[in-house]
Amino acid sequence: EAGVTQSPTHLIKTRGQQATLRCSPISGHTSVYWYQQALGLGLQFLLWYDEGEERNRGNFPPRFSGRQFPNYSSELNVNALELEDSALYLCASSSYIGAAYNEQFFGPGTRLTVL
């Protein structure tokens, strides 16, 4: 069974530009989560999408946004890029069984570099 996939692997942008990152969840998973892993700051929760809707959002400015498509894949958009947005962006997915969401499985990440 294929795991969570993310594209591109690396992305280089300049300050002020926009970046689009993509994620495909594990087959059968309906929830997608985005995390930022910046150097020295650990993993920070960004966004949670389930069934096409945004369910929760972390403490990030509105220029971080995204969406989830009918096939449950997702994209993360970062507008007006700043130098401090340079980080590894990780996508995770989980299934929903009964009243509980399950374990989050991570993809390999997209390394975003802002020059």
Partner 1 sequence: GENVEQHPSTLSVQEGDSAVIKCTYSDSASNYFPWYKQELGKGPQLIIDIRSNVGEKKDQRIAVTLNKTAKHFSLHITETQPEDSAVYFCAASLSSNTGKLIFGQGTTLQVKP
The residues that touch partner 1, with contacts defined as CB under 8 A, are 4, 31, 33, 35, 42-45, 48, 50, 55-56, 58, 90, 99-101, 103-109
- Do 114 and 18 contact (CB within 8 A), yes or no? no
* Cβ proximity to partner 1, 13 vs 38, nearer residue: 38
CB of 38 to partner 1, least distance (A): 12
Distances (CA, A) of 22 to 14, 35, 69, 97, 115: 19, 13, 11, 25, 21
To partner 1, the closest distance from the beta carbon of 102 in angstroms equals 9
Closer to partner 1 by Cβ: residue 13 or 45: 45
* Residue closer to partner 1, measured from CB, 46 or 80: 46
Residues in the chain: 115
